[in-house]
Structure formats: C-alpha cells, structure tokens
Amino acid sequence: MRGIVLASGSPRRRELLGLLGLPFEVVVPRVKEDTAKYEDVKKTAMGLARMKAEVVAHVRQGEVIVASDTLVVLGDRVMGKPDNAAEALAVLHALRGRKHEVTSGIVVHDRPGRSPAVQAVETQVWMRDYSDREIADYIARDEPFDKAGAYAIQDRDFRPVARIKGCYTNVMGLPLCHLYVLLEQVGFTPPPVSPHRACEIHTGQRCLVAVDILKGANR
C-alpha cells in the first residue's frame, strides 16, 4: 500500500486524519499563503491547498498527499490567524453573536501526471454571545494564535459556537467524510472504518450530513 503524507503542520488535521486508522507521515509545506488569493473564497482555499500538496509532492513522489486549507469568512472579510492578543480580541469581538462561513479546500494528490482530487467544503457557523471575560480567559490560555478565526469549535471550556449547518470537522480544519470520498476517487482504498461513526465518537456531535456525503463510498 502506498503511504499517505499529510501536508500540514496543524495538530487538528493530524488528529482528524488519525481517526481513519491509516498510517501517515507529516511533512510541513513552506507556502506563502498570500500568494493564492482569488475573488472567490472557495477558489482561494482550493488554490492554497493545491500549492501545499504540490510542494510536498515534489519531495515525496509516488505517495498520496493530503492537503487542506481553511478560511473563516465574515461578510467580505477573511479572518486569518491572529498574530497577537489585540488581533485575537478584535476577531472574536467581530464574530460574537453573528453568523460566518468556514470554507476548506481539500486536495488529494495521487501521482505526477494525474489530476488531483479536489473539493471545497463550506459550513455555516453561528457564534454564541460570549462575554468579554470569556474572550479574555480564552486569549490568556494562548489558544487563538494558531487558528483561523481565532477559535476552536471543539474547545470545551470556551464553547464559542451556538450551532452549525454543515460539516463539523470542516470547522476544525479537515472535513473527514469528504476526504474519505476523495481518497477513493484517486484509487486509494481506505480501511473499513466509518468516518461518520469515528467522527461522531471523537467530537461528541451528531452529524446530519455524513450520509449524503458518503453515498456510494466503500465504508
């Protein structure tokens, strides 16, 4: 079986890919994220994911490369990873009590000369009206600084999200069921693990979209 390489330094993506029960390695791509900007958010996310996959594919030829990029969008603003506490505070204030979108581009790069399997996934997210004190406590734990939008949906102390429409693990950074389908599209046979069930057990969330996503997949 060919190996899988995750083109990401994100601990959340490592955690999620591990739920499929597949052995994989991690190679962190060196990509300037401001070099792939389009007017369309989905194109930007897919473009960044494609760049990550291509960088890693050059050094790990013949292996299956998995790459993802996630954008948090409020209105016409892309909310990136905050560099400091002031930026984190501003982002969390802006998101508070409002709806925004989380869009991920996923790329599965099979081998040179073949087109990769790609998909853009969007989840709608409604934030709760958390307090200034909750924001301050969250920032004091140094949690926002490696996260697009400055928050983690799965944080059990902050719990910033009121509800979502779409894929939960997309908001974490790697839409698992969509990835499972893309792996099959490039001819990689995933193990007989239900990504739907693995995701629900891991996140503690009931998924309402997995059945439709996984129609026709071997699981």
DSSP symbols for 153-204: TT-TTT--EEEEES-HHHHHT--HHHHHHHHHHTT----S--HHHHHHHHH-
69 is catalytic: yes
Choose, from 34, 69, 76, 142, the residue flagged as catalytic. 69
Burial of 217 (0-12, 13-18, 19+ CB in 10 A): middle
Length of the chain: 219
The residues near 48 (Cβ < 8 Å, ≥ 6 apart) are 31, 33, 36, 69, 105
Residue with tokens 């087109």: 115
- The token duo for 190 is 């995933």
Per-residue tokens: 127: 């934030």
Q: Could you list the active site residues? A: 69
